[in-house]
Amino acid sequence: MPLTLLVPDLLPPAGAPSAMRGLRLPALEKWLARAEASREPGGDSAWMLRQWGLGEDAPVAALTLAADGGPREGAWLRADPVHQRPDRHALVLYDASVLDLARDEVEAALAGLNGFFAVDGLEFVAPAADRWYVRVPPQELPRTTPLEKAVGRNPFGMLPEGDGRLRWPSIFSEAQMLLASLPFNAAREAEGRPALNALWFWGGGVFPASLARPFSSVAAADPLARALALASGCAVQALPAGLAQLPSRESANCLAVADGLRSPLRRGELDAWADAARALDRDWFSHLGDALAAFGRIRLVLPGDRDTAVFDLSPGARWRLLRRARPLSSHA
């Protein structure tokens, strides 16, 4: 495919409020009606990993740490900062997008974690405020659940489990207690801001010796997409403001990841999510006709709550004028 456009968090999830289900994007809906549609298993991260020949047990931590400028040696887990909040009768997990951690808060948390867990051979680093890592002793990597599968759900039942010396459910609980004792969390709660009250361990493994190279270039800010591209030798470029700024000559066989909907959705800011979706319709989807003429073929990939919808646009799609557009929510 000359151009693949991946747009996470656009299809309304199951149980979405009426404001999300009622969103109409005329330009996109027109082209979805003209495309050949199929479904593939998994969400956006699973779909991306599969393009590079990887499964859900992929060493995401090692890949993204290398892209963040960290070492390629050793066994690593993501240890991402998260917020847990009671909701009715259970806890619900929120990712780092609701925390907006300052660097001094990150450094204070790292100092506490490294001081406490050094005896277990764990070493925590945080090259980005929302991407933390822990180096794990050999043979101690646990079985984990990807963060995107845990967000919005009760985390218990999805905690890490291992077969070695380390007791990962206990490490999870000990990290909770340590974080709860940090002075900056008390200040956050006094100000009505969410506390950093847990770490989510996932994506463990070592940096792969080789990877498939499914695309010539990747245009994205998404950390996983950029990490996969760098590890496999794909050219990496910034995501432009709109589809018209993605030149076909330099971007042949390109994956573009438009992930601007993720943060407002995870924060529960539905008006901001809808505004960002309408901006995509204006800046990206309204130019699909011209892009189809330039690229020859376009694949639209829209991950949903249960699986991923894939829409293939061939040159003949330009002439399927009689196909009626359906609301975006009907494709979820």
**Final residue in a domain of this structure, among 205, 222, 237:** 205
Question: How much is the pLDDT for 325?
Answer: 85
Q: For residue range 54-98, list pLDDT tens digits in order.
A: 998 999 999 999 999 999 999 999 999 999 998 877 899 999 999
Whether 65 and 7 map to the same domain: the answer is no
Task: Report the CATH number at residue 34.
Answer: 3.40.720.10
Residue 8 parent element (H or E): none
Whether 194 and 220 map to the same domain: the answer is no
Average pLDDT in the chain: 94
Question: How much is the pLDDT for 1?
Answer: 60
Q: What is the mean pLDDT of residues 103-109?
A: 98
Question: How much is the pLDDT for 247?
Answer: 77
Whether 232 and 192 map to the same domain: the answer is no
Whether 131 and 224 map to the same domain: the answer is no
Question: How much is the pLDDT for 75?
Answer: 98
Whether 148 and 31 map to the same domain: the answer is no
What is the domain extent for residue 313?
3-54+210-331
Whether 191 and 236 map to the same domain: the answer is no
Alpha carbon 49 to its chain's center: 11
Whether 283 and 159 map to the same domain: the answer is no
What one-character-per-residue DSSP string does 92-155 give? EEE-GGGT---HHHHHHHHHHHHHHHGGGT-EEEEEETTEEEEEE-TT-PPB---HHHHTTS--
Question: How much is the pLDDT for 195?
Answer: 97
Percent of the chain with pLDDT strictly greater than 70:
98
Question: How much is the pLDDT for 219?
Answer: 96
Measure the CA–CA gap between 326 and 11, rounded to whole angstroms: 13
Measure the CA–CA gap between 97 and 27, rounded to whole angstroms: 29
Question: How much is the pLDDT for 205?
Answer: 97
Of the candidates 62, 64, 60, 32, the one whose C-alpha atom is nearest the C-alpha of residue 46 is 60
Of the candidates 294, 298, 292, the one whose C-alpha atom is nearest the C-alpha of residue 312 is 298
Question: How much is the pLDDT for 249?
Answer: 66
Q: For residue range 230-277, list pLDDT tens digits in order.
A: 999 999 999 999 999 997 766 679 999 999 999 999 988 999 999 999
Whether 68 and 198 map to the same domain: the answer is yes
Query: Does pTM surpass 0.75?
Result: yes
Whether 31 and 159 map to the same domain: the answer is no
In 206-297, the DSSP E strands lie at 217-220, 235-237, 254-257
Q: For residue range 225-235, list pLDDT tens digits in order.
A: 999 999 999 99
Question: How much is the pLDDT for 87?
Answer: 83
Of the candidates 73, 162, 158, the one whose C-alpha atom is nearest the C-alpha of residue 123 is 73
Percent of the chain with pLDDT strictly greater than 90:
85
Of the candidates 205, 56, 66, the one whose C-alpha atom is nearest the C-alpha of residue 136 is 205
Q: What is the mean pLDDT of residues 131-148?
A: 96
**Final residue in a domain of this structure, among 205, 240, 260:** 205
Ramachandran region, residue 18 (left: φ > 0; alpha: ψ -120 to 50; beta: rest): alpha
**Final residue in a domain of this structure, among 205, 240, 266:** 205
Whether 168 and 200 map to the same domain: the answer is yes
Q: How many domains does the chain have?
A: 2
Whether 50 and 84 map to the same domain: the answer is no
Whether 79 and 199 map to the same domain: the answer is yes
Measure the CA–CA gap between 104 and 102, rounded to whole angstroms: 5
Q: For residue range 169-186, list pLDDT tens digits in order.
A: 999 999 999 999 999 999
